[in-house]
Amino acid sequence: DAGITQSPRHKVTETGTPVTLRCHQTENHRYMYWYRQDPGHGLRLIHYSYGVKDTDKGEVSDGYSVSRSKTEDFLLTLESATSSQTSVYFCASSGTGDSPLHFGNGTRLTVT
């Protein structure tokens, strides 16, 4: 499996505070993705990256920003957290745009 780690694993934060989630991969994969998973919705794509400094929006990008300054790191930022952003966040990576995704263990975020 690809070496992909997410940090933190759990976080509780208050409404209105900024939050950054980190994804780190050691496989030199070009593509990286951020998803959120909520009951009844499955995994929904927030943002993805197809190279350093190359990112694009997914289907639920409002309220989120990302940055990819190095191949191995993909950061997801909630500029001002809201309760609707309480979710489990998964990062994934793949070598090409067509190859299978390898996932991190997830980050459980609670916004109170």
Partner 1 sequence: RKEVEQDPGPFNVPEGATVAFNCTYSNSASQSFFWYRQDCRKEPKLLMSVYSSGNEDGRFTAQLNRASQYISLLIRDSKLSDSATYLCVVNPRGDMRFGAGTRLTVKP
Question: In terms of CB distance, is 17 or 26 closer to partner 1?
Answer: 26
Minimum Å gap between C-beta 24 and partner 1 is: 15
Question: In terms of CB distance, is 20 or 102 closer to partner 1?
Answer: 102
Q: Among residues 35, 64, 87, 111, which is the contact residue for partner 1, using CB under 8 A? A: 35
Dmax (CA) for the chain in angstroms is 38
CA terminus-to-terminus distance, the chain: 34
Residues 72-111 close enough to bind partner 1 by CB under 8 A: 90, 92, 94, 97-106
Q: Alpha-carbon distance 101 to 99, whole Å?
A: 7
